Amino acid sequence: MATPDPRRLANQIALVTGASSGIGVAVAKGLAAHGAKVVVNYAHDEEGANSTVAAIEAAGGTALAIKADVSQEAEVQAMFKQAIEHFGTIHIVVANSGIQQDSSFVDMTLAQWQKVIDVNLTGQFLCLREAAREFIRRGVQPEISRAAGKIICMSSVHEVIPWAGHVNYAASKGGIMQLMKSVAQELAPHKIRANSIGPGAIATPINLTARDTPEEEKALLTLIPYNRVGDPDDVGNLAAWLASDEADYITGQTIFMDGGMTLYPGFADNG
């Protein structure tokens, strides 16, 4: 991955959902390091969002925190309106917000199913739709980017790896795959690119309980041929590159960033 070059995304406006913690923070900082001005979305954690903004500003960048629950249509629309009023337009949207509410299948409540689908899948639909509307309205600005807009969905290895005890989460990520691919197909004529990043295990609050003892960390590493947990900055750097014109011919793809988790590591010793 190229070292940060503030010209790569210069004069571009990016919006990152769930940028008050974890991967979203690293993506917001990564895009800013490459020159984008960044809208830092958060749902509840205002302090986290303000600290992302402060870190970007301390590094010489520009950022604005906006509160919105991505599962609520009116809040998503108000966020895009505020962002566009403030910065003039948007060129890059990273739909990153996501949650887990784990349960065995037979005990999963409708509320647990619905909440995860609402945030992880409907939230991405709402953000992608507002992004597409703005990208189409404005069209290509050739001096800024070859594309009218760039969409990056934060998916997961669980868009392809089934996950017992997490059927709501796995279903939401499988849904994101077809959402992203169908959007990419429909919007390519408008010069809009849509892609996903499929992280494996990245060290963030969402999976703290899966690696908070040495035994759990060791068990997790048996699933990762590259033998390390990922760093949020790995994902931030990839998002910056994927949003740049260096990736202009890539659309409709999921790039897995997983240290080999999707390589069926159980077969490494001949099954």
What residues act catalytically?
Answer: 169
Tell me the pairing of strands 92-95 and 149-154: parallel
Q: How far separated are the first and last CA of the chain, in Å rounded?
A: 33
- Supply the minimum distance, in Å, between the C-beta of residue 203 and ligand NAD: 7
- Supply the minimum distance, in Å, between the C-beta of residue 138 and ligand NAD: 24
The count of other CB atoms within 10 Å of the CB of residue 26 is: 25
> Which of 18, 14, 49, 54 has the alpha carbon at shortest distance from 31?
14
Judged by CB, which is closer to ligand NAD: 18, or 30?
A: 18
- Supply the minimum distance, in Å, between the C-beta of residue 12 and ligand NAD: 22
Judged by CB, which is closer to ligand NAD: 13, or 23?
A: 23
* Tokens (6 digits) for 208: 């703290």
In eight-state DSSP terms, residue 202 is B
Q: How far is CA 14 from the centre of its chain?
A: 12
Residues that bind ligand NAD (CB under 6 A): 17-18, 20-24, 42-43, 45, 69-71, 96-99, 119, 154, 156, 199, 201-202, 204-207
- Supply the minimum distance, in Å, between the C-beta of residue 194 and ligand NAD: 16
Judged by CB, which is closer to ligand NAD: 11, or 209?
A: 209
Q: How far is the C-alpha of 239 from the C-alpha of 37, rounded, in Å? A: 14
Judged by CB, which is closer to ligand NAD: 141, or 207?
A: 207
